[in-house]
Amino acid sequence: MLVPLLDLKAQYATIKAEVHAAIAEVMESQHFILGPKVEECEKAIAYYSGSSYAIGVSSGSDALLACLMAENIGPGDEVITTPYTFFATVGAIARLGATPVFVDIDPLTYNIDVSQISSKVTSRTRAIIPVHLYGQMADMEAVMAVAEKYGLVVIEDAAQAIGAEYKGRRAGSIGNYGCFSFFPSKNLGAAGDGGMVVTNDAQRAERLKCLRGHGSKPKYHHKIVGGNFRLDAIQAAIVSAKLPHLDKWTAARQRNAKMYDKLFSGAGVAMNASGSGHVGLPRVVMNRHIFNQYVIRVSRRDELQAALKKRGIGTEVYYPVPMHVQECFAYLGKKAGSFPESERAARETLALPIYPELSEAQLCYVVECVCDFFAAGASSNQTAPEAVGSQLKR
């Protein structure tokens, strides 16, 4: 059986007519940059995320960059964030000449360990970028408390978390800014690059609109230096067409996650409170985890990934090299061992297929193959492969 990490064609098949109609409207209008389709998408995303304003931009990476630029963050400034994230989070800080200051992660959620943030605040700290990793929000109440105490800006990196919630509030709506990505592999993906910034501050929204068009307002008059961060109308139209389906897709991802949990636990390989077992399952701490990824924690991770590949199962390691040990950030002077939980996660985590269109048979096959891998190397008192198969059939 083949089980890809992600099958975009399966989703596309269900919404093909709607997507083609949205694209056709843009082609007929011949209005490709910003315009009414982008405005329509902005209003829809603002409403969906529980925010007052939304500003369409060229990517999730540029969303982060534009927010930092809007706050005039640059050389001499420090921005606190996590080293266990996609490069764009930290790259945006470095591109502006500011200094990334890292805080290790909570091993249960893989999000920033909020108990450590205050100790990293200095007189040069300007902002905090919490990352809502894998579709689960960081502890935003604690983040905002630190930000309020020290007068810091909060930029939520919600690239993997559109629709996730923290105590009833949507990702992106709690900080000063929230940044989304519409990269095709995301829960809500475009047909290329695209992104969005949400905010509840009218002045910040206007500044971002100016920045995304080279800082021009009115046209050809530049009070500030911006960038070419505009969202294409075709990408906005595709996102708008897909947005009404997002909650249904999220429910399917959550259902698949529960099925994985049940199968792994039923097969006797899930780690328990005493630490026995082989597979550490994702922990749902916040009340609406959207499962952009389903990430397990295992020993012999690379061997397991290779074994699953041989049996037709796609997986991914998010992220094998934490930011503090990336070559381009060597100037920060952080060595291996500086952030042990991030480094441990980089060694042990593996994302399994979780996309909405997975069948129960595919989910069972993934779990059976994982169980077979550990059973093959386990002692005689561990669950045998044939016993695993019978557990999965129950």
For domain 8-244, say whether CATH 3.30.70.270 is its number.
no
Q: Is 214's pLDDT higher than 80?
A: yes
Paired strand residues for 3? 313
Integer Cα distance of 136 and 298 in angstroms: 20
For domain 246-392, say whether CATH 1.20.1560.10 is its number.
no
Tell me which DSSP letter residue 313 carries. Answer: B
Q: Is 384's pLDDT higher than 60?
A: no
64-81 per-position pLDDT tens digit: 999 999 999 999 999 999
In this prediction, residue 25 carries a pLDDT of 97
Classify strands 349-352 and 294-297 as parallel, antiparallel or unpaired.
antiparallel
Residue-averaged pLDDT of the chain? 94
Tell me the average pLDDT across 332-339.
96
Question: In the structure, what pLDDT confidence band is assigned to residue 377 with cuts at 50, 70 and 90?
Answer: confident
Q: Domain locations in the chain?
A: 8-244, 246-392
In this prediction, residue 221 carries a pLDDT of 95
Q: Report the percent of the chain where pLDDT is more than 90.
A: 92
In this prediction, residue 382 carries a pLDDT of 40
In this prediction, residue 275 carries a pLDDT of 76
236-267 per-position pLDDT tens digit: 999 999 999 999 999 999 999 999 999 999 99
Q: Where are the alpha helices (DSSP H) in 188-245?
A: 202-211, 233-242
Tell me which DSSP letter residue 35 carries. Answer: S
Tell me the average pLDDT across 362-379.
90
Question: In the structure, what pLDDT confidence band is assigned to residue 378 with cuts at 50, 70 and 90?
Answer: low
In this prediction, residue 273 carries a pLDDT of 75
The values of phi and psi at residue 280, to 5°, are -85, 120
Which helix (H) or strand (E) element contains residue 351?
strand 349-352
Query: Tokens at residue 215, please?
Result: 């800082």
Paired strand residues for 288? 165
Q: Is 338's pLDDT higher than 80?
A: yes
Q: What is the DSSP string of 121-173?
A: --TTEEEEE-B-GGG----HHHHHHHHHHHT-EEEEE-TT-TT-EETTEETTS
3-class DSSP state of 371: helix
Contacts of 9 (CB under 8 A, 6+ apart): none
Question: In the structure, what pLDDT confidence band is assigned to residue 276 with cuts at 50, 70 and 90?
Answer: confident
Question: In the structure, what pLDDT confidence band is assigned to residue 380 with cuts at 50, 70 and 90?
Answer: very low
Question: In the structure, what pLDDT confidence band is assigned to residue 274 with cuts at 50, 70 and 90?
Answer: confident
82-98 per-position pLDDT tens digit: 999 999 999 999 999 99
Q: Is 112's pLDDT higher than 80?
A: yes
Tell me the average pLDDT across 275-295.
94
In this prediction, residue 3 carries a pLDDT of 98
Question: In the structure, what pLDDT confidence band is assigned to residue 389 with cuts at 50, 70 and 90?
Answer: very low
